[in-house]
Amino acid sequence: MSGRAVLGEYHAAVSAEQAYLGSTAPELVAASTLPHFGGVVASGAGLARNLDETKPLLSHRLAMSAYSTFSRPPLGLNPNDRDGIAAFHNDVVLPLAGIRIETTPTAQLAASREPSETCPKTEPTFIDALRQVDHVQQNGRAPRWVGPNHIAHTKLNVYADEQGSPLILQKRRDIRLGVTLAHMLLDDALIVPAGTFVAVDGRTNVGIVDEATHMYQPPSERTPQGWSFQTLTINRDFEIRPLRIGPWAYNDPTRRAFYGITRTPSDRAHYDRRRAKQVVNHTLDDFRAAADRIMELCA
């Protein structure tokens, strides 16, 4: 699909979300009784000025607000409000974003209050991580390069449930950032779709089941010390903080291409072909396959 066609689809999607929020926001806010979230919902038209390649749609912005408020509730937010935020996110925001999860996820984790964030480099650096896993598998040693995006990931972790199914692929550099490989439920309330970027709470070992370290350290010539792949088994007490819905939450390549749309200084939408190509040419199955490779190497 051409850049012009993607932009056309993008503007249509934003307009449809604006129309939906504009026509239903008062009822949604009244029904949800969310004093800390209602203002964001009601300002749907103005939200378009704050979209970028990390949150191309209004629904993505709303999801980020829900994740932030649910994970780190402001003073005065009672438990019923928190449950209301989860229900609003699950029943309204996710379908608005084009993500439909018909059954309650079986994977359950806990919500972390630890602050974190993502940036436009998140997607390219995860693609670098894929290339590094491929290089180790094909050549039997760590690569000498740091990737086309100039980011080195000396530690890649896979968090799996007690049945051995991978849940999160995490890269470790400045922050512990992961991408979810399966739908999951936080605190028995908030649905986190597969393909969501999350912060992994590394402050404690709460929720880590196996004490033994399952690690693989490939031979390395010129890469930094400490290069390793690691697999950890976790249970429902393990804490993560959802940050934003990523492009690989979508099977539709056009939806993934929306994450290649940047904003000019005059706030016009611009199609960044290089970034779009990177996110469109990969799917969540690529990250699941990388997690499987890491688990095999660590076995």
Q: What is the pLDDT of residue 257?
A: 97
Question: Residue 299's pLDDT band (boundaries 50, 70, 90)?
Answer: confident
Q: What is the pLDDT of residue 24?
A: 66
Out of 53, 77, 104, pick the residue that ends a domain: 104
Higher pLDDT, 283 or 205: 283
C-beta separation of 180 from 169 below 8 A: no
257 is a domain residue: no
Both 9 and 32 in one domain: the answer is yes
Q: What is the pLDDT of residue 42?
A: 52
Q: What is the pLDDT of residue 132?
A: 84
CA dihedral 160, 172, 261, 59 (to 10 degrees): 50
Percent of the chain with pLDDT over 70: 79
Coil vs helix vs strand at 196: strand
Query: Which range marks the domain in which residue 292 is found?
Result: 109-245+280-298
Return mean pLDDT, the chain: 83
Coil vs helix vs strand at 123: helix
81 is a domain residue: yes
Backbone torsions φ then ψ of 109, nearest 5 degrees:
-135, 180
Q: Helix axis angle, 122-139 relative to 273-280, nearest 10°? A: 50
Q: What is the pLDDT of residue 33?
A: 46
Out of 104, 137, 170, pick the residue that ends a domain: 104
State mean pLDDT over 194-220: 76
pTM of the model: 0.89
Residues found in the chain: 299
Q: How far apart are CA 30 and CA 14, in angstroms?
A: 23
Which of 44-58, 170-184, 192-206 has the weakest average pLDDT?
44-58
Ramachandran class of 188: left when φ > 0, alpha when ψ lies in -120 to 50, beta otherwise: left
254 is a domain residue: no
